[in-house]
A and B are shown apart, each in its own frame.
Chain A
Amino acid sequence: MQPAKTTLARFSPIEKSLRTVRAANLWDYEAMCRHFSWDQLRADLFDRSDDKMNIAMVAIDGHAKLTPNKPAVRFVDAEFTRTELTYGELLRSANRFANLLRLVAIEPGAVVASLLGRCPELYSTVLGTLKCGAIFAPLFAAFGPEPIRSRLELAGARVLVTTQHLYERKVAPIRSTLPTLRHIFIVREVAEGELPHGTQDLTQAMSGLSETFETVPLSADTPALLHFTSGTTGKPKGVVHVHDAIVAHHASARLALDLHPQDVFWCTADPGWVTGISYGVLAPLSCGVTLLVDREELDVERWYRLLAENEVNVWYTAPTAIRMLMKAGLEPVKRHTYPALRLIASVGEPLNPEAVMWGMGAFGMPVHDTWWQTETGAIMIANFLSQTVWPGAMGRPMPGVHAEIGRRRDDGTVEILAPNEVGEIVLRPGWPSMFSGYLNNEQRYQESFTNGWYFSGDQAYRDEHGYFWFIGRTDDVIKSSGHLISPFEVECALNLHPAVMQSAVIGLPDPVAGQVVQAIVELRPDYAGDDELRRSIMAHARRSLGAAIAPRGIDFVVSLPRTRSGKIMRRLLRVRALGLPEGDLSTLEPSA
């Protein structure tokens, strides 16, 4: 299949100045690709005779020793008041958390989960967990009780760190169903009432514990991180990453995000997802930068003020946020100047060319799209600071990453496609942050690989310049505001409403969120599909799933279209919802 190229490549390429090229960490793409070696970088980062490692050695221990007084994290609150945490202070609080885990007998390999916003304790929890060899698993704070329960259960989490507010609303109702969850540490704000039964105050629990802790050296393939992602069917997937992943985090932070040690770096991703941990905590700390952390939610004027006042050098954000900023026009941008800003990058979903160009008008530089997945653990394809940007393109592979466009043949082999042929983005295993498994689901892990290639599920083509261009997903997974949402998980929650017989959940295009979740519901007899019932079902879904993944709209149908085998035809529903002729259905079927 040939792509309709004219629809994408309608902006001229953006060339970079010689000055930009020369100052970049990656200034000669082809030469860097030829000479780059993961082994060399690993040896540089760890420099140990025993081949052991720990993410925390690179992310905190080394910097805390060399530059203990340098700010590691700068928090900004609602009133723009700054609080800084130096590398030395961060190390000491991480050590105390590691000592706490040891005190409550959390052994290496146990899962420590967090359900937190961007608070100081998040950073010590991540690093302290890694230091003692336990596995860190972040949860998204906008999830409702049910997604939290299913993820904690899958993880077999032994420890949870959360706030009192989140605990009471989202964890207390499901606590009794999680027998392996032994310790709950509460990050308390002043003036909160009595501590909930069966929990401990984190600050109190850590008080008196030692501020020193010898980071546990581990083999490179020891699990370190557990991130949750969604597929079309079945339960959430627990994606496991090993300590070696930091080698890829570090390389991509330097080459794709161009981080220099003196930089102020702002990653706007939520710490409940992989980006918020890989690029919101670990990768930038490994480069020794100062992280900017906004305690508030997206606000147009606030964000521009933060960029300017904090002299942010590199800004990593998401298409949904960029489109929100775009809607407000250029006037609020122009109230400030941004002489420090060097690179704007984006991740989460494909960045439309208009959003790339918006960067030119607003800041005099394009937004650099990057592509990766929870499974890849780190940036795989990027638009690099020194390289030409084709608005709408995903960019080119990271040095050390072998990416192609491929197709599975019926005989189990893989065909690598020529330029401008549409297929699936495939990656040759060997990069350090490749996932090492889906928790408790070896079969699904094996199914991700064919004949020595990882199949990403994302369709794209590569042009004659080597740039990748995104086409779409090969499955029904919905991407809304950068969150991957499983239609199955939403349907399961909807089907628990007494009026719902069956439901189907699809993603509809949205100018801001990329896609929004839409439910199509078949009602039980005796129920009338009126506005009141629609609200009742939506309320039920929001209570169970949380606002971020519950449907934003609900339609009623007499009966849902099914295949002969009884599978609901989500694609047909999408065609109908978009008002396309149903004859177009064949072209929407997956090509695989």
Chain B
Amino acid sequence: MNTPTIEQQILNAFLQVAPDVDPAKLKPEIPFRDQFDFDSMDTLNFAIGLHQQFGIDVPETQYRELASLAKTAAFVRSALQQDGKRSTGPAAT
């Protein structure tokens, strides 16, 4: 089995929160809010999902980094680099 890419894992976390979105139509560079309904509670749940997926914490002041798929991927990459770890499973917390 192939290891899922960071983008795939982010997409999984995203679809847990917003399963109404067709991943094929999701434009990575465009903010979620400009493409479909995605409110602040969704962002909060998305941040929790990213924590479960990657073991990274997203502080409230950084929620704007989760505005689009591309921004989220960049944020996750840099957070993982800082942590010096690459977790593919749920966080060991």
Pair A542/B18 contact, Cβ less than 8 Å: yes
What mask results when residues 101 to 126 of chain A are scored 1 for a CB within 8 Å of chain B, else 0?
00000000000000000000000000
With A and B bound together, what is the CA distance between A142 and B44 in angstroms?
A: 17
User: Distance (Å) between the CB of A546 and the closest chain B CB?
Assistant: 5
Residues of B in contact (CB 8 Å), total 22
Pair A324/B60 contact, Cβ less than 8 Å: yes
Pair A298/B20 contact, Cβ less than 8 Å: no
Leading 4 A-B pairs by shortest Cβ distance: A328-B60, A547-B37, A542-B20, A539-B19
With A and B bound together, what is the CA distance between A86 and B90 in angstroms?
A: 54
What mask results when residues 517 to 539 of chain A are scored 1 for a CB within 8 Å of chain B, else 0?
00000000000000000011011
Of chain B, the residue at the smallest CB distance from A169 is B36
Contact A547/B19 with A327-B60, A552-B45 known, Cβ cut-off 8 Å: no
With A and B bound together, what is the CA distance between A516 and B17 in angstroms?
A: 14
Pair A481/B40 contact, Cβ less than 8 Å: yes
With A and B bound together, what is the CA distance between A328 and B61 in angstroms?
A: 6
With A and B bound together, what is the CA distance between A543 and B20 in angstroms?
A: 6
With A and B bound together, what is the CA distance between A328 and B63 in angstroms?
A: 10
User: Does A478 reach chain B (CB closer than 8 Å)?
Assistant: no
Pair B59/A328 contact, Cβ less than 8 Å: yes
Of residues 41 through 61 on chain B, the ones whose CB sits less than 8 Å from some CB of chain A are: 41-42, 44-45, 59-61
User: Distance (Å) between the CB of B19 and the closest chain A CB?
Assistant: 4
What mask results when residues 468 to 503 of chain A are scored 1 for a CB within 8 Å of chain B, else 0?
000000000000110000000000000000000000
User: Distance (Å) between the CB of B44 and the closest chain A CB?
Assistant: 6
Beyond A328-B59, A539-B20, 5 additional contacts (C-beta under 8 Å) are A144-B37, A297-B33, A299-B63, A516-B41, A540-B20
CB-CB < 8 A to A512: which residues of B?
Answer: 41, 44
Pair A142/B60 contact, Cβ less than 8 Å: no
Of chain B, the residue at the smallest CB distance from A144 is B37
Pair A298/B37 contact, Cβ less than 8 Å: no
Pair A547/B15 contact, Cβ less than 8 Å: no
Pair B39/A300 contact, Cβ less than 8 Å: no
User: Distance (Å) between the CB of B53 and the closest chain A CB?
Assistant: 15
User: Does B77 reach chain A (CB closer than 8 Å)?
Assistant: no
User: Distance (Å) between the CB of A320 and the closest chain B CB?
Assistant: 8
What would be 10 A-B contacts, judged by CB atoms less than 8 Å apart? A142-B39, A169-B36, A299-B64, A300-B63, A302-B64, A320-B40, A327-B60, A512-B41, A535-B19, A539-B21
User: Distance (Å) between the CB of B36 and the closest chain A CB?
Assistant: 8
With A and B bound together, what is the CA distance between A536 and B21 in angstroms?
A: 11
Pair B19/A536 contact, Cβ less than 8 Å: yes
Pair B61/A142 contact, Cβ less than 8 Å: no
Pair A332/B33 contact, Cβ less than 8 Å: no
Pair B61/A547 contact, Cβ less than 8 Å: no
Contact A547/B60 with A535-B19, A539-B19, A552-B45 known, Cβ cut-off 8 Å: no
Contact A547/B18 with A481-B41, A512-B41, A513-B41 known, Cβ cut-off 8 Å: yes
CB-CB < 8 A to A513: which residues of B?
Answer: 41
What mask results when residues 293 to 309 of chain A are scored 1 for a CB within 8 Å of chain B, else 0?
00001111110000000
With A and B bound together, what is the CA distance between A539 and B64 in angstroms?
A: 24
Contact A324/B19 with A297-B33, A300-B61 known, Cβ cut-off 8 Å: no
Q: Kindly identify which residue among A300, A543, A552 contacts B60, using a CB–CB cutoff of 8 Å.
A: A300
With A and B bound together, what is the CA distance between A547 and B42 in angstroms?
A: 8
Contact A547/B39 with A536-B19, A542-B20 known, Cβ cut-off 8 Å: yes
